C-alpha cells in the first residue's frame, strides 16, 4: 500500500448512536452523503459512471503488504478513512468476526472516498468495490470496527463491503464487480472461519433495525453466492489484518 496503515490502538466503544449511517450529513454541500439509502435521489445522473472511470487515473496501486501472508485475498488498495469515522479495536480478540455485510453506496467511488475521509461523516466501511473494473479500496483495517451497519452489535461482528452504484441502476452491478467482491468475501469468510452462506453473508437491509434497502432488488444474490462458493478454499489466516 502507498500509505502506512493506522496503528492498532486499544478499542473503545462509543454509544450506539455514534454509528449513524443514516442520520449524519457531510459538511461539504457538494458531497451529499447518501450511502446505501434506498430511494435516495442522485445528483450525478448519467455522468456518474464516467466520473468513476476517471477516478481510475492516479488510484493507489495494490500491494502484497495489504494482505495476510499466504491468504487468498484479492489485491486491495489502502485508502484510509478518517479516524473519526471508525472505532479502533483489536478484532477478533476484542469481538468475533461472524458476518459479511453487503452494501451499495448510492454514490460514485470517488465521492465515497471523500465521504469516508470527511471526519464529519461518521460513516465508513472496510472495503469498497468499483463498478467498472472491480478495483478494491480498503478504508478500515479488519481489526477495527467500521461504522457501516447502523447497528453497533453488527458493526463489531462484521466486515462491511460497499459496492459502487445505486440500488435502482443494475448496470453498475458488472461482472467485474461481482467477481472481485465474491473473491474478497470468500477470503474474508475463510480468514475468520465464517460459513459461506446467506445466513452469514447478508445485505444491509437484513441487519436488525435497518432502515436501508441495499443492496436492493437488482443485486443478483444467486449469482453472487455461486461466485463466492466457487472460490478456492483457504485456511484461516493470521489475525489482525
Predicted confidence (pLDDT) per residue in 123-174, tens digit: 999 999 999 999 999 999 999 999 999 999 999 999 999 999 999 999 999 9
List the grid coordinates of 155: 458493526
- Asked if residues 109 and 128 have their Cβ atoms less than 8 Å apart, the reply is yes
Predicted confidence (pLDDT) per residue in 110-125, tens digit: 999 999 999 999 999 9
Active-site annotation holds for 206: no
- 179 class by beta-carbon count within 10 Å (0-12 exposed, 13-18 middle, 19+ buried): middle
Residue tagged active-site, from 3, 65, 142, 162: 162
Strand partners, 138: 78, 127
Alpha-helical segments (H) within 55-194: 109-116, 152-156, 175-192
Alpha-carbon distance of 23 to 16, in angstroms, equals 13
List the grid coordinates of 185: 468475501
Average pLDDT of the residues in 211-226? 98
pLDDT the model gives residue 60: 72
Q: Residue 62: which pLDDT band, with cuts at 50, 70 and 90?
A: low
Strand partners, 160: 101
pLDDT the model gives residue 236: 56
Mean pLDDT estimate for the chain: 79
Q: 111: helix, coil or strand?
A: helix
DSSP state of 76: -
List the grid coordinates of 137: 479500496
Amino acid at each position: 500500500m502507498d500509505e502506512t496503515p493506522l496503528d492498532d490502538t486499544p478499542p473503545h466503544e462509543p454509544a450506539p448512536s455514534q454509528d449513524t449511517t443514516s442520520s449524519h450529513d457531510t459538511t461539504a454541500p457538494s458531497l451529499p452523503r447518501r450511502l446505501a439509502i434506498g430511494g435516495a435521489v442522485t445528483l450525478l445522473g448519467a455522468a456518474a459512471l464516467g466520473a468513476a472511470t476517471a477516478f481510475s487515473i492516479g488510484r493507489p496501486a495494490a500491494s502484497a503488504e495489504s494482505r495476510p501472508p499466504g491468504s487468498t485475498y484479492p489485491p486491495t488498495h489502502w485508502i484510509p478513512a478518517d479516524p473519526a469515522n471508525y472505532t479502533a479495536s483489536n478484532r477478533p480478540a476484542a469481538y468475533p468476526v461472524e458476518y459479511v455485510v453487503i452494501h451499495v453506496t448510492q454514490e460514485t467511488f470517488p465521492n465515497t472516498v471523500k465521504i469516508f475521509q470527511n471526519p464529519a461523516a461518521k460513516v465508513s466501511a472496510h472495503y469498497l468495490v468499483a463498478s467498472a473494473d472491480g478495483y478494491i479500496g480498503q478504508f478500515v483495517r479488519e481489526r477495527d470496527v467500521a461504522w457501516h451497519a447502523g447497528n453497533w452489535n453488527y458493526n463489531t461482528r462484521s466486515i462491511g463491503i460497499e459496492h459502487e452504484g445505486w440500488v435502482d441502476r443494475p448496470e453498475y452491478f458488472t461482472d467485474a464487480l461481482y467477481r472481485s467482491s465474491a473473491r474478497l468475501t470468500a477470503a474474508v469468510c475463510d480468514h475468520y472461519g465464517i460459513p459461506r452462506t446467506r445466513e452469514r453473508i447478508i445485505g444491509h437491509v437484513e441487519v436488525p433495525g435497518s432502515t436501508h434497502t441495499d443492496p436492493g432488488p437488482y443485486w443478483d444474490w444467486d449469482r453472487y453466492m455461486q461466485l463466492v462458493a466457487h472460490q478456492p478454499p483457504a485456511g484461516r489466516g493470521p489475525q489482525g489484518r
